[in-house]
Copies of this chain bind each other. A is one copy, B any other.
């Protein structure tokens, strides 16, 4: 048995193999190493019970405002990393809407590695975001950082984002499980696909069936890109769960020139949508400027994108 086999065995996909012979993973080769008694087979079921496609074969469609995610159509969410002014978010909304975006994103509460970095404009920015969404007719998604902010953010947003750093912030997940708003759950930078689906399980088992997963790159030894975008992992997640899976090519690459090719690849791999950072003037952005597109670059990308979309339908 070589180390590849070792490394691969007890993964979500592998653990489903025994029950779906024609599934990738090669039942024959595994047979030897995997248990065979029914009792044990039960133990091999995916631990993300409600999130698994086994438990719920057809794809779930999540609705944010007037937009449906998971239908097979690529849903594009665009906007600035941080909301910096009323004018900035309104102009961005107008521009991304004109280019064909389906939803507006923007950060009011920013989790920052350093306490000395810009932390977002908070409550005030939430109002501007909601207004820009109404004006442009785009539902809005924004991040919520702590349980006590959930109600306030839910008043202004159509979808609540859990950032990568908070994927395993269980106090926050438990609170969001009781919200009536859909949740966008980002994958943690060092979370396995199974841990990501188990974080979704906190939301589903807590009572909120409206969960969209977002791959945004994992942390690896490679530093030429901000993160390593795990696009094959998106294809695997789509096979393991019935929940929609979207991709954030902006954080996933950290470089403006990689956002367009990564977006096309995400569409081609079967993602249900994209979350793209767009800023009217990336060079002046208070955060993530170097990975933000300007409205013109975003419009160009949109023209090349949809032909690649092949989101998996159940």
* Min CB–CB distance A293 → chain B (angstroms): 10
A257 to B24, CA, bound (A): 5
CB distance from A239 to the nearest CB of B (A): 6
Determine whether A310 belongs to the interface, using a CB cutoff of 8 Å to chain B.
yes
Contact indicator per residue, chain A 60-86, by CB within 8 Å of chain B (1) or not (0):
000000000000000000000000000
Question: Is A47 an interface position by the 8 A CB rule?
Answer: yes
| C-alpha spacing A256/B4, complex, angstroms | 14
User: Do residues A258 and B236 form an inter-chain contact, with CB atoms below 8 A?
Assistant: yes
Instruction: Identify which of A88-96, A178-186, A192-200 touches chain B.
Output: A192-200
The answer for the CA separation of A113 and B194 in the assembled complex, in Å, is 9
Q: Is A56 an interface residue (CB 8 A)?
A: no
Q: Which residues of B contact A147 (CB under 8 A)?
A: 146-148, 171
Among B24, B36, B148, the residue within 8 A (CB) of A291 is: B24
In the complex, how many angstroms separate the beta carbon of A285 from the nearest chain B beta carbon? 9
**Do A230 and B235 touch across chains, with their CB atoms under 8 A apart?**
no
A29 CB contacts on chain B under 8 angstroms? 5, 289-290
Query: Are A232 and B229 also in contact (CB < 8 A) when A6-B113, A194-B224 are?
Result: yes
Give the residue among A12, A34, A111, A219 with the most B Cβ atoms within 10 A: A219
Contacts of A10 in B (CB 8 A): 6, 8-10, 33, 223
CB distance from A28 to the nearest CB of B (A): 5
- Among A48, A193, A235: residue with most chain B CB under 10 A: A235
* Cβ B5 vs Cβ A33 within 8 A: yes
Q: Take A115-B198, A229-B231 as given contacts and tell me if A310 and B264 are in contact as well, using a CB distance cutoff of 8 Å.
A: yes
Please indicate which of the listed interface residues A49, A231, A282 has the most CB atoms of chain B within 10 Å of its own CB: A231
Does A55 count as interface, using CB distance less than 8 angstroms? Answer: no
A270-290: CB near B (< 8 Å → 1, else 0) gives 100000000000110001111
B contact residues around A202 at 8 Å (CB): 115
> Contacts A2-B112, A3-B198, A219-B190 given: A24-B224 contact, CB under 8 Å?
no
A154 contacts B by Cβ under 8 Å: no
Q: Which of A7, A35, A195 has the most CB of B within 10 A?
A: A7
Please give me the 6 A-B residue pairs with the lowest Cβ-Cβ distance, nearest first. Answer: A26-B290, A190-B190, A146-B171, A24-B256, A24-B255, A24-B257
